[in-house]
Amino acid sequence: MKKRGLSALLLSTLLVVGGCEVASKKDVVKEESKEPSIQKPVEIVLLTQSRDETDANVIRDQLSKAGFQVKLNLQPDFGSYTAQEKAGNFDVAISSWTTVTGNPDYAVRSLFKTGGDYNKGPISDPEIDQLIDTAASQTPDEYKATYEKLEQRLVFDKAYIAPLYVSLKSQGLNHTVLKESSVRLSKSRSMVWEAIDFVDESKRGKDPLILQQAISSLTSLDPIKGNDGSINMLNTNMYVRLVNLTDDDKITAEGALSHNYAIAEGNSDYYFLLRDDITFAKIKDKLAVDSQERVGAEDVVFSLNRAKNKDAVPDHRTYSLHEHIQNVEIVTDLNALTSAKQSGGGGTIKEALEKGVKAPISELASEKANADNQAGKYQVVKLTTTKPFPQVLNYLAHQSAGIVSKKQVESINTFDVAKYDVNKDITYGDQATVTEGATYNNALAASGPYILSYKNDYEAVFYKNPGYRKGTEFEPKISKLVVRFIKDADSALAALRSGEIHVYYGIPETKFDLVKNDSKLKLQTLESNGVAYLLFNLENREVSKSEDLRKAVLYAINQEELIKTYNDNKFKASSTLTPLVKTGLELKSDSNKVKEYLKKYAESSK
């Protein structure tokens, strides 16, 4: 009894929350065990944040049963989690990725290619780099075999990650307040704000549409400086793009800056016929005003050139998504459109661009102020890729390809990027400039349907862009939009049920039944491109040195147990590619392999 009491006392000292560590009873090795021990239990530090505590508890138990001594580095929010990640205070971290562009290259390039913006391992593997680039140049029929090789090396040969599950995408809405048909749920694209409407249309100009998100600290309102859950939905609705994704991940010009797009022979040249009915919104006295500055080809060229340039801004976080862009230019010679042929032999580029427009192309304007679509005078942008790369269109639908105002951004970012000083230099889109208080100085210029006016710790307030597609079906229906910051899932659901918010985007699978059973609410779901996985720390840790140790962790993971925790509302994953490419590979937990790899690790550590 004394021995057990002492063990419990020692166990209690291991429990720490938010920067500390947690161990369960299963972490404690019984001294009286008669089984021969390979070595003392291997300590594994598992980094997570409070929203993923369910996953952390299941994974901790699985690893403990496999013979690891697991300690949790449990952080209260995304910001503190990121700080711990950057500091390297973990062996494995619960991470996730949603392929919001609908193409498989996005599911791997930033995450796993050497130097990728979100390569947090970091992984540096020439074979993986080559496979990513090879697959990017292939058609869907060709790239399946290449992505299978990539997944094999990434997960099963090298154990750089350990896949957990594929999630459902979900949202709950109050259908007594909002028209259910106006609230879209897209497989990859974020929520389409401009389409949402009240049941009582008389409320459009009086009442705000109230949404929610968990993260209140916004990475940046400059679309190229962030690619995470804090700003993806916000920037997607603040900046228009050349093309969009449909709800089922097809490329479309609907709701975009382009009337049409066309691919030339060779799949390296892409043409876009621009609209002339969008102007930038600005904020004056915390309200949206029309700047009268048209969104045009000059802004497109500027935006995409800075998107591909790693040195365009300090802390550029999306450059690898656009590294395949070689050149972006304004087309001024009409003969260039008639001489260039469409890919697949379907006629000229001019013919493709003119489909469905009211006036055929009679003249090309070099300056945006001179465009007049009704008179047949258009602007055309030509984008050339470094090599044939049809997936470029998916990247142009991503929020990081949002079109910013050349004039406005250049007026703010006047510093030398190489000498950037975080303490004195203000960058375009800095959240401090839109936060209420002494730092507030909103200099945003939004090309999309809404513009952020101000934020605080409680909410962010947006207003419709008065110069966005006015008089068309794409003009935003509701004048004011509020995004409430509600970190806790139970609190967010309570807010939806009480009418405090109108849409809850990303309802946890464990809460589905509560929404279904509420007569005021409607649950919308579809299988997403979101995959959760364990990311190994590949710098200065035991797991970075030992492939065997990583594989022991890999085969200790039982996905079926995790999925049951969510009432079977998640699905098995092999990698971040799983929702997009069915490779046929599958991770199966295997206690014998765990023992085998732990033994190899122990022998190599002697």
Q: Which helix (H) or strand (E) holds 43?
A: strand 42-49
What is the tens place of the pLDDT at every residue in 100-120? Answer: 899 999 999 999 999 988 899
Asked whether the predicted pLDDT for residue 245 surpasses 70, the reply is yes
Query: Residue 285: pLDDT band by 50, 70, 90 thresholds?
Result: very high
What is the tens place of the pLDDT at every residue in 327-362? Answer: 999 999 999 999 999 998 779 999 999 999 999 999
Distances (CA, A) of 367 to 168, 294, 298: 45, 10, 7
Distances (CA, A) of 352 to 84, 213, 473, 568, 579: 51, 40, 23, 46, 32
Predicted pLDDT at 20: 38
Residue 517, domain member (yes or no): no
Number of domains in the chain: 2
**Rounded mean pLDDT, 432-436:** 97
Dist CA 305 CA 337 (whole Å): 22
**Rounded mean pLDDT, 206-215:** 96
Asked whether the predicted pLDDT for residue 14 surpasses 60, the reply is no
| Domain edge (last residue) among 486, 501, 516 | 501
Residue 140, domain member (yes or no): yes
CATH classification at residue 13 = 3.10.105
Asked whether the predicted pLDDT for residue 380 surpasses 80, the reply is yes
Query: Residue 424: pLDDT band by 50, 70, 90 thresholds?
Result: very high
**Rounded mean pLDDT, 313-322:** 91
Task: Give me the long-range contacts of 301-310 (CB less than 8 A, separation at least 24).
Answer: 301/328, 301/329, 301/330, 301/381, 302/404, 302/406, 302/409, 303/401, 303/402, 303/403, 303/404, 303/406, 304/328, 304/383, 304/396, 304/401, 306/224, 306/409, 307/223, 307/224, 307/400, 307/401
Q: How many CB atoms lie within 10 A of CB 440?
A: 14
Question: In terms of domains, do 297 and 256 share one?
Answer: yes
Question: In terms of domains, do 479 and 570 share one?
Answer: no
Asked whether the predicted pLDDT for residue 125 surpasses 70, the reply is yes
Question: In terms of domains, do 491 and 545 share one?
Answer: no
Q: Are strands 161-174 and 503-505 parallel, antiparallel or unpaired?
A: antiparallel
> Which range has the worst mean pLDDT, 224-228, 379-383, 450-454, 480-484?
224-228
The token pair at 112 is 């796993």
Predicted pLDDT at 39: 58
Question: In terms of domains, do 284 and 390 share one?
Answer: yes
Question: In terms of domains, do 183 and 162 share one?
Answer: no
Question: In terms of domains, do 492 and 574 share one?
Answer: no
Q: Which helix (H) or strand (E) holds 450?
A: strand 450-455
Residue 295, domain member (yes or no): yes
Dist CA 342 CA 58 (whole Å): 53
Question: In terms of domains, do 398 and 255 share one?
Answer: yes
Question: In terms of domains, do 367 and 422 share one?
Answer: yes
The token pair at 414 is 């006047």
CATH classification at residue 352 = 3.40.190.10
First-to-last alpha carbon distance for the chain, in angstroms, is: 35
Residue 515, domain member (yes or no): no
Q: Which helix (H) or strand (E) holds 49?
A: strand 42-49
What is the extent of the structural domain holding 32? 9-167+528-605
C-alpha closest to that of 361 among 268, 241, 255, 259? 259
Question: In terms of domains, do 317 and 419 share one?
Answer: yes
Q: What is the mean pLDDT of the chain?
A: 91
Asked whether the predicted pLDDT for residue 281 surpasses 90, the reply is yes
Query: Residue 8: pLDDT band by 50, 70, 90 thresholds?
Result: very low
Q: How many CB atoms lie within 10 A of CB 190?
A: 17
Residue 516, domain member (yes or no): no
Asked whether the predicted pLDDT for residue 29 surpasses 80, the reply is no
Residue 333, domain member (yes or no): yes
Residue 1, domain member (yes or no): no
Dist CA 491 CA 500 (whole Å): 11
| Domain edge (last residue) among 484, 501, 518 | 501
Distances (CA, A) of 137 to 110, 507, 600: 16, 36, 39
| Domain edge (last residue) among 501, 519, 536 | 501
Residue 193, domain member (yes or no): yes
Predicted TM-score (pTM) of the model is: 0.80
Question: In terms of domains, do 111 and 236 share one?
Answer: no
> Which range has the worst mean pLDDT, 36-40, 385-389, 427-431, 577-581?
36-40
Question: In terms of domains, do 588 and 491 share one?
Answer: no
Question: In terms of domains, do 478 and 536 share one?
Answer: no
**What percent of the chain stands above pLDDT 70?**
94
C-alpha closest to that of 577 among 77, 27, 111? 111
Backbone angles phi, psi at 475, to 5 degrees: -65, 135
**Rounded mean pLDDT, 139-155:** 93
CB 246 within 8 A of CB 240: no
